[in-house]
Amino acid sequence: MKKVTVLLILSLAICLAACGKKVSTPDEMLDVVKEKENISAEVDMIECGRIVDNDTTIVVGMTGENDKTYHYYAAQFSKNQDGKYKYKNAISLNDIGWQLRLGKLNTGYIIVCNNENVSTIQAVISPRNGADITKNIEINNIPFVYYLDMSNIPSDYDIQYKFLNENGEEIQ
């Protein structure tokens, strides 16, 4: 009975230590994401990009062998006073097209694009009581990660995304 109790206490201590793990590099952040998403340590995860806002960093990573098997993951980290980062939570990324993902974060959206045919993302925001607002987001490298801040838009709106090629034509 004592051995079981000791093992349970040690297991709990290890779990609690892992939950509060602090990291300092993007690679360490990706390792935490893999751990939280139950991805094998053997699987390579590459960074798609980061969004940094004050003491918060969003890291987006992808795994997979080729463009048909990529999987995307995002996580939020908070920066401590010692300059290290602590995992806060995972962020769901929804599939909105071929190699295109969208995630909700606070009052805005995380947009991930790994489609080489897309050169511009056009967000058309339609407030219920107002004129449409169009935001054109130029993609300068692939993979591309962007935060679309909606904090200055009234909360009652519809939004549609168009993905445009280099000629301005919509990609279906």
Report strand pairing: 94-97 vs 100-105.
antiparallel
pLDDT at position 155, please?
81
Select from 101, 79, 83, 82 the least CA-distant residue to 92: 101
CATH architecture of 20-91: Roll (3.10)
Contact by Cβ (8 Å): 57, 25: no
> Which amino acid, 62?
M
Give the global pTM: 0.81
Select from 57, 50, 116 the least CA-distant residue to 88: 57
Q: Where are the strands (E) in 64-156, listed by range?
A: 71-79, 85-91, 94-97, 100-105, 108-113, 120-127, 133-138, 144-148
Tens-digit pLDDT profile for the chain (172 aa)?
Answer: 555 444 444 444 444 444 568 998 889 999 999 999 999 989 999 999 999 988 899 999 999 877 667 899 999 999 999 989 999 999 999 998 888 999 999 889 999 999 999 999 999 999 988 899 999 999 999 999 999 999 988 888 999 999 999 999 998 7
pLDDT at position 6, please?
41
Domain boundaries, given as residue ranges, for the chain: 20-91, 98-167
Give the C-alpha separation, 47 to 66, whole Å.
15
Give the C-alpha separation, 116 to 126, whole Å.
28
**What sign for the dihedral angle of Cα 171, 160, 150, 33?**
negative
Q: How many residues does the chain have?
A: 172
Strand partners, 138: 120
Give the C-alpha separation, 149 to 147, whole Å.
6
- Which residues in 133-159 are b (16+ Cβ under 10 Å) and which e? eeeebebeeebbbbbbebeebeeeeeb
Give the C-alpha separation, 153 to 156, whole Å.
8
